[in-house]
Amino acid sequence: MKKDINKILWILIIILSVLIIAVTVTLIVYYSTDRTPDSKYYRQDECINKYSDIITKYSIKYKVDENLIKAMIMAESSFNKDAVSKSGAIGLMQMMPSTYNDLKEKLGFTLPPEEALKDPETNIACGVYYYATYCSVVGGTNASLAAYNCGPNRVRSWMTELGGEVDIAVEDIPIESVKTYVKRIMKYYNSYCLYYGEAPDYDSVLLPRETALEYAKKYGQKYKVDYNLIMAIIETESSFYCYRTSKTGAIGLMQIMPDTFSVDIAQNLNLEDNPDQLYDPEFNIMCGAYLLHWLDYRLDGINEISISYHVGVTQIKSWLEDDNYSENGRLITDKLPEEAQNYLFKVMGHYRRSIRLDGEDKGYKFD
């Protein structure tokens, strides 16, 4: 019995010793690693931070995991914006000039590829769009990454040969260089998830009501708009989800269409004509408040202004000229199409809710 106890103690001592050695070696390696500004570890983190806002912006826009985009950039160019491959791929996400030429009209770019793709934002915008639109539709993550590397059509043919599964196992990728490419990205991806945390689901990011109210009051005062109505429009349009994009392309908290932004907001306020800015919560509320001010300049009455936010000024003026829908220059709301009635009902419900929760705007009231 005593021998058995001694044997167990020796085994425990050996296990403990091995653990101590392993921890000691890990600490030595970590603290002896060069992390000065010239080291690769420092440079990588510095570069990711340098481009993180751009990566987040287009990851949100095209609904892609931003850690995966970071991993792709690391595998493609090691975050070197001036990288050019032997095959002619350019920049951070190693876009081919021919691919850029196919995409540039859709994305609103005009510069030649040799110049445009050296710009980090243009390169990332094109790379993320290409991955989200042409590659991720092929299948799961492995298949999508393989498609980014060697083309969607080739990957589709592999998957058909393998029985049409939704993804492809890394080991089933028939080209060794593509297999290695996917493995590298997934290695970086797993590291970034551990280091930066898993990327948030941007579709579920809510702006706190108190923050929305702060912006509503700020820009309500600036543009002489009832902040209760701003809050009501936000709650009706997006339920305070910051990055919501509708099927028709309306963006953000106040669901502003890119064309409306370009024509009615950006031109009048001398803003850069870039609808992607609408994903920023404060900027979106500023633009929405200005749009309500713009509508107030053209229409009278809170009902008319509220419904016009949804259907447009032209439609409201058409109804106002029709005796079936209006009387004495005001809309007869219960005669309007059901969709317009339902929208107004929601807005007015949220308007009363805002007065109760946020306090009444006594400075600016629509009739």
Pairing status of strand 326-327 against strand 330-331: antiparallel
The pLDDT score that the predictor gives to residue 128 is 95
The pLDDT score that the predictor gives to residue 35 is 40
Q: Check pLDDT > 70 for residue 43.
A: no
Angstrom distance (rounded) from CA 179 to CA 159: 14
Distance of CA 76 to the CA centre of its chain: 22
Q: For CA atoms 353, 279, 46, 65, give the dihedral sign.
A: positive
**Which tens digits make up the pLDDT trace of 117-174?**
999 999 999 999 999 888 877 778 898 999 999 988 888 888 878 776 667 889 989 9
Active site residue 76: yes
Q: Check pLDDT > 50 for residue 38.
A: no
The type of residue at 26 is T
- Which distant-in-sequence residues (6+ apart) come within 8 Å of 364 by Cβ? 220, 221, 224, 225, 226, 227
Q: What average pLDDT does range 8-16 have in this prediction?
A: 70
Angstrom distance (rounded) from CA 288 to CA 278: 10
Residue pair 125/95 in contact (Cβ under 8 Å)? The answer is no
Angstrom distance (rounded) from CA 198 to CA 309: 37
Query: Catalytic one among 66, 76, 237, 304?
Result: 76
| Exposure b/e, 140-149, CB count within 10 A at least 16 = b | ebbbbbbbbb
pTM: 0.60
The pLDDT score that the predictor gives to residue 164 is 63
The pLDDT score that the predictor gives to residue 196 is 82
Nearest residue to 275 (alpha-carbon basis) of 108, 99, 144: 108
Q: Which two tokens stand for residue 51?
A: 């481009």
Angle at the Cα of 256 (from 251 to 262), degrees rounded to 5? 110
**Which tens digits make up the pLDDT trace of 323-352?**
999 999 999 999 999 899 989 999 998 999
Q: Which two tokens stand for residue 180?
A: 């290695």
**Which tens digits make up the pLDDT trace of 279-319?**
899 999 999 999 999 999 999 999 999 999 999 999 999 99
The pLDDT score that the predictor gives to residue 44 is 63
Q: How does DSSP assign 119-180, residue by residue?
A: SHHHHHHHHHHHIIIIIGGGSSHHHHHHHHHH-HHHHHHHHHHTT--SS--GGG-SSHHHHH
